[in-house]
């Protein structure tokens, strides 16, 4: 009987060398697969930089977000913020705010006469204030009395002829009506003098010596004063005395509180010399009397 073959019939190649066993202290062989880069899913591999940046920004926002933003603001927080603003902001002065409030109602008033040769000459220069937005203006009578032509210059630079429609001689007041009005003409806010006291802040606004509009500030010096003109021809009573600088050209302009409300019409200054310059005492007709010249009582 034939013996079974112990080897295949394939041609026998060279004998394989005996395997070499690693030494006991040698490190285990490293599989080539361990050097392969770990691959992320396709969408993560494309956007991993953006994801990392977003995570960093989120951590930074959480670190910097103030604790006050995570709680409801209290009245104390609001008061502190307002106080901090008042301490650091450059706010306009009370006089500047008062002047700005009345500026749209301020008018320059000029009177002219024609001489015997037919030439027109300056007759008077003063100030006025719009008290009705239809173009009703208060000024001093001595500014326009005897003028053959009256010209108004409004806050926007536009000009208009005016007619004198009324007068109150004992208070040296005249009422003018503008013939042409600016589109944005604004009447001044009038305020009763009933609560006016010596020491209250006031602003005189007008065109002293034709320069303006000019602003000066001071206080109410007294109430119920009387004034006699230098020529002694007229005495005016119940006047507001004030120390805001006023000079020729301020006549007819408004005397304004720090709230921007008109309490009087500047009428005269006291100066015992012949220079007619301001030495600290000015007078204004209370607005109640001035409004009566228009036939109205504003209060």
The pLDDT tens digits of the residues spanning 58-115 come to: 666 666 655 545 567 788 888 888 777 767 777 789 999 999 999 999 999 999 999 8
Selected catalytic residue, list 105, 155, 172, 216: 172
Residue 251 appears among annotated catalytic residues: yes
Do 108 and 165 have their domain in common? yes
Structure-token pair, residue 68: 């006050």
Among the listed residues 213, 185, 216, the one whose alpha carbon sits nearest the alpha carbon of residue 284 = 216
Q: Are residues 228 and 270 in the same domain?
A: yes
Residues 105 and 167 in one domain: yes
**Catalytic status, residue 172:** yes
Q: What contacts 272, CB < 8 A, 6 or more positions away?
A: none
**Is 30 a member of any domain?**
no
In a domain, 64, yes or no: no
We report the CATH number of the domain holding residue 153 as: 2.40.10.10
* From 123, 127, 142, 216, the catalytic residue: 142
Q: Are residues 168 and 222 in the same domain?
A: no
Is the pLDDT score of 222 beyond 90?
Answer: yes
Catalytic position from the list 160, 214, 221, 251: 251
Please tell me whether the peptide bond between 153 and the residue prior to it is cis, using omega within 30 degrees of 0. no
Give the range of the structural domain holding residue 247, as residue numbers without chain letter: 201-292
Residue 284 within any structural domain of the chain: yes
- The DSSP H or E segment spanning 54 is helix 42-64
pTM of the model: 0.69
Examine residue 110 and state whether it is found in any structural domain, yes or no.
yes
Please, what's the largest Cα pairwise distance for the chain? 171
Report the alpha-carbon distance of residue 129 to residue 137 in Å, rounded: 5
Residue 45 banded pLDDT, cuts 50, 70, 90: low
Count of structural domains within the chain: 2
Please check whether residue 4 lies inside any domain of the structure.
Answer: no
Q: Is residue 154 domain-shared with residue 231, that is, in the same domain?
A: no
133 within some domain:
yes
């Amino acid at each position: 009987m034939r013996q079974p073959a112990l080897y295949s019939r394939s041609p026998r190649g060279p004998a394989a060398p005996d395997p070499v066993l690693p030494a006991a202290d040698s490190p285990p062989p490293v599989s080539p697969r361990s050097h392969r880069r770990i691959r992320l899913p396709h969408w993560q591999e494309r956007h991993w930089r953006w994801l990392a940046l977003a995570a960093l920004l989120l951590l930074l926002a959480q670190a910097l977000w103030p604790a006050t933003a995570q709680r409801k603001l209290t009245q104390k927080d609001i008061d502190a913020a307002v106080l901090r603003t008042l301490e650091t902001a450059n706010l306009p002065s009370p006089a500047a705010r008062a002047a700005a409030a009345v500026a749209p109602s301020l008018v320059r008033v000029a009177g002219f006469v024609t001489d015997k040769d037919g030439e027109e000459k300056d007759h008077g220069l003063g100030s006025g204030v719009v008290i009705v937005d239809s173009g009703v203006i208060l000024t001093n009578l001595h500014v326009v009395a005897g003028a053959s032509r009256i010209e108004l210059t409004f806050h926007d630079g536009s000009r208009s002829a005016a007619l004198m429609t009324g007068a109150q001689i004992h208070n040296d007041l005249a009422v003018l009506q503008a013939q042409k009005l600016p589109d944005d003409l604004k009447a001044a806010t009038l305020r009763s003098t009933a609560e006016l006291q010596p020491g209250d802040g006031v602003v005189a606004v007008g065109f002293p010596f034709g320069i303006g509009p000019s602003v000066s500030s001071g206080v109410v010096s007294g109430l119920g004063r009387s004034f006699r003109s230098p020529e002694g021809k007229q005495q005016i009573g119940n006047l507001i005395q004030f120390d805001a600088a006023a000079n020729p050209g301020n006549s007819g302009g408004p005397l304004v509180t720090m709230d921007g409300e008109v309490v009087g019409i500047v009428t005269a200054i006291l100066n015992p010399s012949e220079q007619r310059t301001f030495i600290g005492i000015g007078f204004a007709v209370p607005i109640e009397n001035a409004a009566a010249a228009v036939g109205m009582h504003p209060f």
